[in-house]
Structure 1
Amino acid sequence: MSYRSHVLIAAGGSAALLLGALAFQYLGGLAPCKLCYWQRYPHALAVAIGVLALWLGGRTLAWLGALAALATAGVGLYHTGVERGWWEGPTSCSGAGPGLGGLKGSDLLSTDGPVNVVMCDEVAWQMLGLSMASWNMVASLVLVGFWIAAARRG
């Protein structure tokens, strides 16, 4: 396969994963958590890099695409670890927060706090025992391979 084909598959794969995430969100009703959003940003960057790589060519852009795909795989691994309890997640969206002990009664009854917070340490959907974060990690690692193959041909 050519440089162009590898870039199309890699950037197209990131675009497909972004569209899939949006479909789960808007068609499936599964609101994303903070870490889910973090996984989307490198995919968007990889799509932009892919457009530039198709237009300008070159190994550097392909390596940057690989780095973007690797970044989203890394966040997917981190999110998977939070979901499985391997490590603590952000206190703003996981059960690792400071707890209720330091709060006053008025704090507990306040309506000024965040509403509808989606927890990062709860699995909203899974297939074959893997969560969406895990599947994102696996798919992103495959995309890293396509970016590297493009870089070698560029």
Structure 2
Amino acid sequence: MTRQKTLILLAAGGSAALLLGALAFQHLGGMAPCKLCIWQRWPHGIAIGLGLVALVAWPTLMAALGALAALATAGIGGYHTGVERGWWPGPSDCTGGPVGGMSSEDLFDQIMAAPLVRCDEVPWEMWGLSMASWNMVVSLGLAAIWVLALRAR
């Protein structure tokens, strides 16, 4: 196996590990994901698929696309981290918002339509970093591996 394909498998395997970890937190740990958590999963799934395609065809193209997928999930993780820390507002359908000026009926409708899991709360953290933050950090590392694979052609 070439160095390029080895690096691609390492990067795609990293995405698989992160995705499996997220699913384990959800299904084994009972930690339901919020909307932004789900958004972070999609690029990992794409990266896994790109890694598999690279085994049979277009490894250089797949490495470039894999780097973009890793950067996409890192970007979403960074955005989610900012929402959790209150640096900027998140999507209105999964974060708390002001209730001033709302009628009691509008407020009730907003409460009933709110998701069960909020994007602006940190359900788990390690060493001061939330799951979204860890996804961002590790995904930036995976993007670097994809770039190394791109340059290894």
| TM-score under structure 1 length normalisation | 0.91
Mapping for residues 15-34 of structure 1, pairs under 5 Å:
15-34=16-35
Aligned-residue offset at 1:73: 0.2
Mapping for residues 65-80 of structure 1, pairs under 5 Å:
65-80=66-81
1:45 matched residue in structure 2: 46
Aligned-residue offset at 1:106: 7.9
SS in 2 for 1:16: helix
Distance 1:65 1:9 in 2: 11
Structure 1 vs Structure 2 CA RMSD: 2.0
Q: Deviations over 1:6-34 (max 9, x none)?
A: 01110010011000000000101111000
Aligned-residue offset at 1:2: 0.4
Q: Report if aligned partners of 2:8, 2:145 keep a CA contact under 8 Å in 1.
A: yes
Gaps of 5+ in 1: none
Q: Deviations over 1:45-87 (max 9, x none)?
A: 1011111111114311100000000000000000000001111
1:142 matched residue in structure 2: 141
User: Equivalent pairs: percent with the same residue?
Assistant: 58
Letter in 2 for 1:45: I
Aligned-residue offset at 1:123: 0.1
Letter in 2 for 1:131: S
Distance 1:135 1:107 in 2: 34
Distance 1:93 1:53 in 2: 37
Letter in 2 for 1:146: I
| TM-score under structure 2 length normalisation | 0.91
